[in-house]
Structure 1
């Protein structure tokens, strides 16, 4: 069935339900008339034939009513009218049953389409909410970066003034170095500068689109954001090579994971870290490998229903770039 909007589907369901009820009522009247006709074959009185004629008139079947009246005539009615009525009624009853079966099947298809349309509408709303949340988070991240750069520039300028006043004779290049360090303080751990971080985000989004998940919103989480391991408290890249944890926020991707049998957590709002088997099933194994090679460290994925849920569970930074 061609995908229709929810309003059209519900209108067709109402029409199909009404038509089905009418057809069912017509079948019941036809069965009652047939029962009267059968009784008339064994009833020596014209009572059953009169009932049959009345039922035919009730249905607007004037030909059937005439045959019921003819059935009252002794011998002639039994020999001609009643057999003809029986054949006619059987054909009509069979036709009504076929019609009911087709209507019932159509109604079932419409109800199935209604559920699909409701799911699609809900997914569209979730995607809109996720997009708005992502845009807001990206705007906030950009503002924080700009504020950090301004603060770093001011700190460098103040340092120059202190050196001048003390006769230290600091070079401008050293002040610029200080400013660069301040700007980098807004860049997540594991990236040398904002350009490297931006390239990582752009490649991640491109890879998600190629895998068929162009609506997924990637967010960096874990020690790359906080600077230390959540489990051990150990600083990032101290005594070990830390990994990158990336949350993929997309209700459609989460539903796909559930369909593939990947377990959900937190009331069905997320998965755990995806295993190699999970990544292969979702078509994300190559992307994980490519991003790991670019970063020079392991890149782990976890799926959430939307960016807000991901950000509520752990400090997050939306990866830069466009879908």
Structure 2
């Protein structure tokens, strides 16, 4: 497994990672999430020995990555899919890496087939699309058949079929008992792929819990209510202690009361109800709620009309 203990990284006066501790365990997909500038990439680089921590430690199976004689057999990683010589073929790129870790050509062919690159194995990587480079990077991570895998934005550039494929691949790797850590900004993918979440903000731990538990603790829920008399029902609901917000089309968003209680209240006062739908907030919304204070780069929200007027001025 991966163990991060009191990990800290400073660049002069700037603190990229600040006393961070968490454990990534085998047999599940762990999503590593955080806003831009949260310290995710720096943390991954310290786990892989590419950056030295100012304080603390990052271990893989109780050892620093730099101490491993054949690291590809223990840890596979994809941090930058573009870090490939453009004139080298996919096959020879992987073969060159394999030789450094005592891995044979047969395994190179196996990972090319598993990532769907068998037919283009002899093509120069410079002619690859971004999605194909992503697949090649994943093939490189799988090359040593390692028990621990780290991926930074693995679905970047993939088409829908590729996204579906990698989603299944990550789950399959975890089901085989491997430790799988994925850093991503795509909350929709993390919601259906990650079993566990580690969320950081400004270099500090924000959450470390199973995905379902995180959503249960942080995802807001409400009830969408449609009625023929929204103003009258809204007044009754507020009187009963519910929070009510108007939705487009005359619907009401109600929180603080269960659907049955809302229906009973409407029936008591002979108000017709056309819809009662429980709505759960997405992982994206829950993530934004818990990391809202840790966002360093926030664009101003400006209406299209105002932007158009400024351009015309």
The TM-score normalised by the length of structure 2 is 0.21
Q: Which has the larger radius of gyration?
A: 1
Higher relative contact order (CA 8 A, sep 6+): 2
The structure with the largest helix share of the pair is: 1
Q: TM-score, normalised by structure 1?
A: 0.21
Higher strand share: 2
